[in-house]
Structure 1
């Protein structure tokens, strides 16, 4: 989904008083409930590039929660490090405390978790200044690493895709290419191998070939894996891999994976539909990690109920694909319409849909 500045409820841009680093927080929507989204710490040529990133990513979080049927809105944090900056341990702590102060200043309408460049230990550190964080280490009562839950949600999405392709949710005997073997991609590959799928695996790191050998999978370069003759391609690395150049070369029946922002432009979804390739919107397939974390740490659910929410991605994807097929539109169109319908319904409720931010997000911050 596209994002522009005027779509957002709040944009907070601060220079960290300790670190001097630009910190940008975008609250895209609180129509469904208090906003949540990860904290990305990345190097940018210009801080304005970080602003573009946070606008797009926060809008994607709104879509992710709405599609999952959760009472949460979308937000995102970007720490726009200068390209030449190398953070020492002390400087990193200063940056994270500055981020925590910026989040606390929003008064509870937004909570953050890990994203590119941050992890559970960083959330614990930020928890010294604000309660509005999630995915803290399990030893500290948090939900910990979100990777297993993102992988579980993606596997649920793949089972829904299998149902749409062959009428059975079983992945046994299907050929899948997993492009990217980071924490999430490697878990998906292992789960698929256990399910009896035939695998093509790929990563920019040649050292990951050992996993392919361990799982009895074929190893390919990323470009070759993306266009391999398989049933389903699973993008699990960086975004932008589906373009007007790569789509004509695809030899798959469907695409579903945890990588964010897989389409280079929104129009690529139409190219995929024209070729008869099912594409599951990434913000639907990749939602398992944040669904679990928010369910446990912000909504107070137990592990079993949180896991059920994650596995609910299968039903969401199955229904989206069926709706898209029935109406002759792409799954991207069906998903965007679902998101708009849920946001519209909540907006029409007005005050009844609003929330007490302090109560839902843990009350006042701990003392400094």
Structure 2
């Protein structure tokens, strides 16, 4: 992707002062302070000299480095007033939070294949109405340094969609790094799915005429997968479907253009991530005080290998996110805990959304 087309309109000190948030800094200040403070904290709470670890990492083949599990989680704090970077190993934040732009709030964050992150941004409260403008969701790209410190946060000036975020909104970035999928909701809890190009701003829209939830977005090439959870229950139970949509060939319009592949089993809570090859999907399951990641074969959804298990009393799965390689999964539970695959739990009660 051509980064030169991302307008580097960094947050100003004036915007930060006006925001009034203590302990939250604009991107330019955060990056500089994080290099000093964040580096010191990492040294104080790690084993050995970080320079030794960096030399060890540099000695590894580039392919091995890229496939390693992420060390940092990026989260949206509180009601969207800031972004934070959290160290998976220590559970501590790296550097200082980065404030949202004036009169705006961060809403959702997703990882991209190049290791960057895309953040969805909404006007704060009635800011759009006060200026007579229609509400719209915009996007920014976040990049981290090798130490986890924030390197830059730049707006994707061509990428915007009409509408406003909702508690059920979801975000995913395609493997090409350009296509951004986002879900908003119209009156009556009717979902609208937009796919917008960060490079050109062109977008397609698919909307549902019936109430329901579209969540757990994931990509395989130009195919977008999601879980459809209708509001209407059958026999007192919600029947969730795993569906796919070929965004390159499907005509915009009705979300029924998507294909239903299989019904999700009980305990899945509507969380499923399709693998990059499009042949399998991994479900996050919560039953009997245990979290499980299990693979299912596509298209029929036949149960396959159990990939990961751990005890988590009372932890209902709320989200399941893959890192930029697609190899490592992060479970978010409703009690405010993150469970990185193969690592200790990370506290996240203060986060509205998180990924790695």
TM-score (norm 2): 0.29
Greater RCO structure (CA 8 Å; 6+ sep): 1
Higher-strand-fraction structure: 2
TM-score when normalising by structure 1:
0.28
Larger fraction in helix: 1
